Amino acid sequence: MIKRLVLRFGIVAAALTALATVAAGQSPPPAAEPPPFRLGLGDLMTAFVQPRHVKLGLGGEARNWDYASYEWDQLRDAFGLVEKQKPIYHNIAMSDLLQIAKEPMAEVQAAIKAHDGKKFDAAYGGLTDACNACHVSTDHAMIVMQVPKTSMFPDQTFALPKP
């Protein structure tokens, strides 16, 4: 019972203080704003880069070149998002770290444009190797990417649509 009275008194006292402040022409102190929400690099990679890497691989494996081209664009954009959200990682510019993927991304794009399955497989493997080299260079060697063996998207087919 006493706890309730103390709580009610505290609420009433706070309200009266706020009213007195407003009546005196003063603004109440602004409420502290929460810090901006920022995803960490691991979150960005897991949420945006990794699914695009997987889908690109599955689209290429299915030789669905239109879809692979779409996912290549999405992966490029995901890398751009990472660079904007985390411009510096351990005192290294993210743009410098992502250079490791530049040539492999170009090779994947060329294979997609050529509709060349063998070149795609090799280029995608090279891109995957570049991801792993970046992980090693940032002391995250325990994060090992691979060419997907199965789809983590059971509700999506990567095969060419039937006419």
Looking at the predicted structure, is the pLDDT value of residue 19 above 60?
A: no
**How far apart are alpha carbons 29 and 40 in whole angstroms?**
32
Give the fold, CATH level 3, of 41-137: Four Helix Bundle (Hemerythrin (Met), subunit A) (1.20.120)
Instruction: Give residue-wise pLDDT tens across range 63-98.
Output: 999 999 999 999 999 999 999 999 999 999 999 999
Q: Which amino acid, residue 15?
A: A
Helix (H, G, I), strand (E, B) or coil at 31: coil
pLDDT of residue 5: 47
Write down the domain spans for the chain: 1-33, 41-137
Range 141-149 average pLDDT: 95
pLDDT on residue 4: 58
Cβ proximity of 91 and 69 under 8 Å = no
